[in-house]
Amino acid sequence: MMILTDKDRQTLTLRWRHFSVFSVLEWHRLLALRTTIFVVEQQCPYQEVDEKDPLCWHLELLHNQQLIGTLRVVPPGVAYAECSVGRVAIDSNYRGLGLGRELMDAALEFCEPRWPRGVRLSAQAYLQAFYESLGFQTVQGPYLEDDIPHIEMLKRFG
C-alpha cells in the first residue's frame, strides 16, 4: 500500500471531464484502470464498456499526472430518474488512504447543484457502510449483478 505524505497529497489532482473531450489515449488509460479492477481483480467477466459512458461526466484522480482513481456520473434519465454515480475505482496501490471518499465527496458536490433530486447508485453490498457514511440509504436489495451481491442506494439532497 502506498503511503501519501503531505507533499504527496499536494500532487493529487481531481479533474472532471465529459466523455466527449477525452483523447483516445486518455480514454484508454481510464478503461485500463476500470477493467483491471472490475474485471481482472474481481474475476468478473462482464461488459465493462457500455452505452452510458458517452453520456457521462468522468472524474479522474491523478497522482503526479498518473491516473490512480476514477468514477462516472450518469445524468438523470439514463440509468435512473435521478443522476447516478458508478464505476468508482481506486488503483490497488492507493487503497485505504481515504481516496474513495474524496472521489465520492467530489461527485456529490458536482451533482447536488446540477441535479438536486438526489443521487442513486448500485453498490457492491460489502460497501454498504461506506455509502451510508456518505448519507446514502438502501432502497432495494441485496440482488446479484454480474454474480456479485449489490444493493440499490439513494442519497437525497436538502
> Does 1 map to a domain?
no
> Does 100 map to a domain?
yes
> Does 113 map to a domain?
yes
Burial class (CB in 10 A: 0-12, 13-18, 19+), 109: exposed
Count structural domains, the chain.
1
Q: What does the pLDDT read at residue 2?
A: 66
User: Residue 14's closest CA among 68, 92, 55?
Assistant: 68
Please report, in tens digits, the pLDDT of each residue of the chain (158 residues total): 567 776 667 789 999 999 999 999 999 999 999 999 988 888 877 778 899 999 999 999 999 999 999 999 999 999 999 999 999 999 999 999 999 999 999 999 999 999 999 999 999 999 999 999 999 999 999 999 888 999 999 999 98
pTM, full prediction: 0.92
> Does 35 map to a domain?
yes
Q: What does the pLDDT read at residue 8?
A: 66
> Does 101 map to a domain?
yes
Coil/strand/helix, residue 53: helix
Q: What does the pLDDT read at residue 39?
A: 85
Report the C-alpha gap between 85 and 88 in whole angstroms.
8
Report the C-alpha gap between 114 and 15 in whole angstroms.
17
In 1-136, at which residue ranges do the beta strands (DSSP E only) sit? 12-18, 57-63, 66-74, 83-90, 119-124
Coil/strand/helix, residue 144: strand
CATH code assigned at 60: 3.40.630.30
Domain that holds residue 91: 6-155
